[in-house]
Amino acid sequence: MGMPPCRPAVDPSILIHRDPRAWEELLGSCVDLFIEKMRGVGVGDLRSLVDYSFEGPSAMWLFLRRLEFAGDHAAGWNTYVRERWVPMGARMRWPYMQETARMDDLRVRISPAFMLLPYDQHKETWRVNASTLLRYIRIIPTFYQPHYYLSLALPRRLRDLARNGYVWVANVRSQGRRSSALAEWLYWLDHGRMPHIDVEMGRFTPGSPLDKVINIRRGRDAEVYRFSARRKFVHFGGGQRRGI
């Protein structure tokens, strides 16, 4: 008799979310199925499962590919483990601000969740859509401790953008587009967790008082306020800030 279907209550980006409580609550019985599939690599409990996944995300599909998925998030998991693909863009629906900074040399359009895929097979996607990250690190180490190496590689001046608030970063315009994915990266680097999952779990950590516009609610009602009031923010250097 085969294993029962796994019914995750979250998308596959939880695989880079280092919070065992979120795994337990949002994956439920899937945790036991994941552990069973990964005993051969030394995974024996929830903590070792979370650590293994966080430190080597692009290998996870190998262990999960024979599982059956059901429920609202089944399509995303099946696409990941069977077709080796995840959506490229940000998962977090950051509140909208009408006016914020413009930094036209900033280019990060890939979510940290894209690290679930092997870097070598998607080099061109990273080059075109995340040139800002590749400016500081030659490859994205999706196979081994990406959080550690990216934290070392990215310069302080880029990381410090989060001091203005993750919502502020998400609304920085670069080449006509918001920087939602960059805000997700900075949050993940600061906390080792994905912001949209933290909102779901009621533990989103603000980077500045501005981030308190995010409305945290538990369960299916988790959402963010749409922050549309007109506010005036500094525009750097006539519309651009160089050297990021």
Which pair of structure tokens corresponds to residue 56? 């080597």
Predicted TM-score (pTM) of the model is: 0.89
Bridge partner residues of 174 (DSSP): 177
Cα(43)–Cα(31) distance, rounded to whole angstroms? 11
pLDDT at 227: 35
Q: How is residue 187 written in tokens?
A: 């949050």
pLDDT, tens digit (0-9, with 9 covering 90-100), for 31-54: 999 999 999 999 999 999 999 999
For 68-91, what is each residue's pLDDT tens digit?
999 999 999 999 999 999 999 999
Q: Which two tokens stand for residue 82?
A: 């069977």
pLDDT given for residue 100 in this prediction: 76
Give pLDDT, residue 218: 44
Reading the block at residue 94, the tokens are 């950051």
The pairing of beta strand 177-178 with beta strand 173-174: antiparallel
Q: Give φ, ψ of 173 to 5 degrees.
A: -90, 130
**Which of 97-111, 122-136, 150-164 shows the lowest per-residue confidence on average (mean pLDDT)?**
97-111
Find out whether 129 and 109 touch, Cβ atoms under 8 Å.
yes
User: Which sequence spans correspond to the domains of the chain?
Assistant: 12-83, 112-239
> What is d(CA 142, CA 120) in angstroms, rounded to the nearest whole number?
9
User: Are residues 209 and 165 in contact, defined by beta-carbon separation less than 8 angstroms?
Assistant: yes
Q: What mean pLDDT comes out for the span 124-135?
A: 97
Which pLDDT does position 216 carry in this prediction?
61
CB 187 within 8 A of CB 206: no
Which helix (H) or strand (E) covers residue 174, if one does?
Answer: strand 173-174
95-99, 183-187, 194-198 — which is least confidently predicted?
95-99
Specify the pLDDT at position 155.
96
